[in-house]
Amino acid sequence: MTLRTSLFLAGACAALAAGASGAQDKATLDKGGQAASAKAEKTLQAMQTEEKTILTHGIMPLKLTPDAPEPPAVAIPGAGYIPGIPRLGVPALFETDASLGVSYVFGVRKDGATALPSGLAQAATWNPALIEEGGRMIGSETRAKGFNVLLAGGVNLMRDPRNGRNFEYLGEDPLLAGTLAGHAIRGIQSNHIISTIKHFALNGQETGRKVVDSKISAANAHESDLLAFKIGIEIGDPGSVMCAYNKVNGHSACDNDWLLNKVLKQDWGYKGFVMSDWGAVPSLGAALNGLDQQSGEQLDKEVFFADKLAAAAKGDPAYAKRLDDMNRRILWAIYDNGLDANPAKPGGAIDFKTHGDIAEQVARQGIVLLRNERDVLPLAASARRIAVIGGYANSGVLSGAGSSQVQAEGGPAVYIPAGNGDENSPFIAESYHSSVPLKALREAAPQAEIHYRNGRYIAEAVAQAKKSDVAIVFATQWTSEGFDVPDMSLPNGQDDLIAAVAAVNPNTIVVLETGGPVMMPWLGSTAAVIEAWYPGARGAEAIAAVLTGKVNPSGKLPITFPAGKEQLPRAEVDGLDSTEPSFFGMPDMKGQPLVADYDIEGANVGYRWNAVKGQKALFPFGYGLSYTRFAASGLKTDGTRASARMTNTGKREGATVAQLYLVSRGGKPVQRLLGFQRVELTAGQSKPVAMTIDQRLLADWQDGNWTVVPGDYGFALGEDAEHLGPVMTVRLKGKTWQD
């Protein structure tokens, strides 16, 4: 363990002891304090009229089509470039994607970066301190490459398990997702760069993402997706919020007075700026509805926020006032994060070894052990002949596609074009990081004779499995920004492959590399299953460490694995039956409206929905096995704070997550995660856990107020959302407060 790692682990424990279960850490709010606001005001007053539309729009500095103009030489190829105002010492903004590291943009910069595991893998760690360390790492690489804005903080809740971008986000629960997003953002911005939080809001599917209308009541939104954003903003204090492509209740999210002016800026008092998603600006009027910056302007039908905005400001006091506020907000974010005083410069040194260690640590803690019959894992030394089958396990580990795609220098180990030939196709490829499971397993189990079969021919794989002590099948589900998967089945006949191998080898282990939950028709015939997600730059090493027992898996599902699509609020993805969806989610809807009715489930997303419907998941939210055993005891709570003890009752060290749930209110079943704490325990060791309960999770939101209704509230610790301990009932007086 390197010094750095041990230091940050110590930090992790300290952070957790403070009950990092979503409690708002006031110290981070408005880091620059009044100084940033005062400085922004001073600069604004010094601005000349023609300078006021410099910061309000920018290009995507890439030559997207052969006849497109060359981007300015000063711009770094990436996601965005906004010139600064040198006369006033205002730096240019150099923007790159995204939540998993510095994006590769299909190799145009010919450099590489460290790929964190997917958002779901990060969320499966339930470890805010570690996610903050990951954010610090990718933020440092952002800066070392000369960028000063990282378009990270993807926090949209998983409302549909088939959403192509679930892999980027942090799961289905507002407390877990919001807390981890906030810590990631805090880590990123510790490098004196701006992070976003995105995509604001209710961006729950990729099919038709630029036309779909997310319908939801204010109360349901505030008790779910908006709460995730609010917690993320409270903890991370992001300089910018990126508004989404979709509509919310009939209005584009980037042109939405309720969402941007009322909720974000007035009710929440957000001081930073709202940037659009790329090609998400419908009109100049969006400026009056809360949008502060037009991003990737060449993707919109017009550049609204340059001369048109200047002209409007000249003739209309409302636009003039807005234009000042737009600049004030962008300047505040620049000063609050010290971009001017700490200019990022390209060519900075990157310690890829240490950064790889951090990515591996996240992967190790994010792997979830779903099944382990007869304790077939960890692999016994007696497993002399091991078959490794499928999933390009001889070459790499899978990653998700789209703007968040990160690759090491030299690019992907495997690159399978998956686009439909249009101009967006370079973005759409099934690509694998060059971290090789077969190699990692051979290094971790030198005593074994390990043979690989690629799984294309089932008979060949079966023949190898037959003569092996253990068969490890790697199964992949590729997902991407821009479109959803049509169902939750593993593609390319992998279900048949797994079933055939398991039929001939009782020690069949399945390693899933998926972008979301999948069906497992073969589950009963396998010995063990681990979910490794998209495990990042050192994913293979982490998978091998878990399979061989060097690491005791401690991941807990941040999402529900449904038992079938009939359990979902919407059995089919809205709009999927349209013509072939293009990458940018623009299927030909033939003028038909596309609506995602989120009021069906309301705030009851995922496990909450199952609790309301009395449904049992294939694997529930919060689920994850270990190579040891744990017991929770001594729950005490007054509804504001909670404490308990966690004990390792097994024979080896391990880590688990104490999960506190609300399970009933006024005698009616309602389930909400109220707090969590990851805890590491040696064999036989017992430790106290303590959590602060975010009162909004006990409350209803109504017309700008949170209300905890008086009555009896049932609390329980859970190994996961379905395996709950004794219920402790507390009578609460009730209270109401402003958001």
Q: Which residues bind ligand GLC (CB under 6 A)?
A: 79, 97-98, 151, 198, 277-278, 403
Nearer to ligand GLC, 60 or 530 (CB): 60
Nearer to ligand GLC, 126 or 147 (CB): 147
Cβ-proximal residues to 313 (8 Å cutoff; 6+ apart), any chain? 52, 53, 319, 320, 322, 323
Cβ-proximal residues to 423 (8 Å cutoff; 6+ apart), any chain? 64, 65
For residues 424 and 501, the answer to whether their CB atoms sit within 8 Å is no
Nearer to ligand GLC, 297 or 719 (CB): 297
Cβ-proximal residues to 482 (8 Å cutoff; 6+ apart), any chain? 164, 206, 209, 402, 424, 427, 428, 581, 582, 583, 584, 585
For residues 212 and 594, the answer to whether their CB atoms sit within 8 Å is yes
Q: How far is the CB of 585 from ligand GLC (least distance, A)?
A: 9
For residues 454 and 395, the answer to whether their CB atoms sit within 8 Å is no
Question: The sheet that has 397-398: what strands, in order across it?
Answer: 397-398, 429-433, 414-417
Token look-up 């009322």 returns 262
Nearer to ligand GLC, 424 or 525 (CB): 424
Nearer to ligand GLC, 98 or 176 (CB): 98
Token look-up 């036989």 returns 684
Q: How far is the CB of 274 from ligand GLC (least distance, A)?
A: 14
Nearer to ligand GLC, 481 or 541 (CB): 481
Dist CA 69 CA 433 (whole Å): 32
Token look-up 């106290």 returns 688
Dist CA 56 CA 323 (whole Å): 8
Q: How far is the CB of 76 from ligand GLC (least distance, A)?
A: 14
Q: Which residue in 24, 21, 38 sits closest to 271, CA to CA? A: 38
Catalytic residue among 277, 300, 336, 484: 277
Nearer to ligand GLC, 205 or 615 (CB): 205
Q: How far is the CB of 62 from ligand GLC (least distance, A)?
A: 9
Cβ-proximal residues to 513 (8 Å cutoff; 6+ apart), any chain? 391, 397, 398, 474, 475, 476, 477, 532, 533, 534, 535, 539
Distances (CA, A) of 336 to 211, 241, 622: 35, 15, 36
Token look-up 């821009």 returns 482
- Burial class of residue 592 in the structure, from the number of CB atoms within 10 Å of its CB (0-12 exposed, 13-18 middle, 19+ buried): exposed
Dist CA 250 CA 259 (whole Å): 12
Based on the residue annotation, tell me whether 277 is a catalytic residue of this protein: yes
Dist CA 363 CA 398 (whole Å): 13
For residues 567 and 468, the answer to whether their CB atoms sit within 8 Å is no
Q: How far is the CB of 78 from ligand GLC (least distance, A)?
A: 8
Q: Rounded to a whole number, what is the distance in angstroms from the first to the last CA of the chain?
A: 44
Nearer to ligand GLC, 40 or 60 (CB): 60
Q: How far is the CB of 331 from ligand GLC (least distance, A)?
A: 22
Dist CA 551 CA 655 (whole Å): 10
- Taking the alpha carbons of 332, 337, 338, 343 in that order, is the dihedral positive or negative? negative
Dist CA 301 CA 289 (whole Å): 18
Q: How far is the CB of 584 from ligand GLC (least distance, A)?
A: 7
Q: How far is the CB of 54 from ligand GLC (least distance, A)?
A: 20
Q: How far is the CB of 397 from ligand GLC (least distance, A)?
A: 23
Q: How far is the CB of 456 from ligand GLC (least distance, A)?
A: 34
Dist CA 571 CA 573 (whole Å): 7
Nearer to ligand GLC, 95 or 213 (CB): 95
Nearer to ligand GLC, 426 or 506 (CB): 426
Nearer to ligand GLC, 138 or 512 (CB): 138
Q: How far is the CB of 573 from ligand GLC (least distance, A)?
A: 18
Residue 675 pairs with which residues in a beta bridge?
A: 660
Dihedral of CA atoms 259, 262, 266, 272 in degrees, nearest 10, equals: 30
Dist CA 240 CA 260 (whole Å): 12
How would DSSP label each residue in 651-711?
A: SS-EEEEEEEEEEEETTEEEEEEEEEEEEEE-TT-EEEEEEE--GGGTSEEETTEEEE-SE
Which residues are catalytically annotated? 277
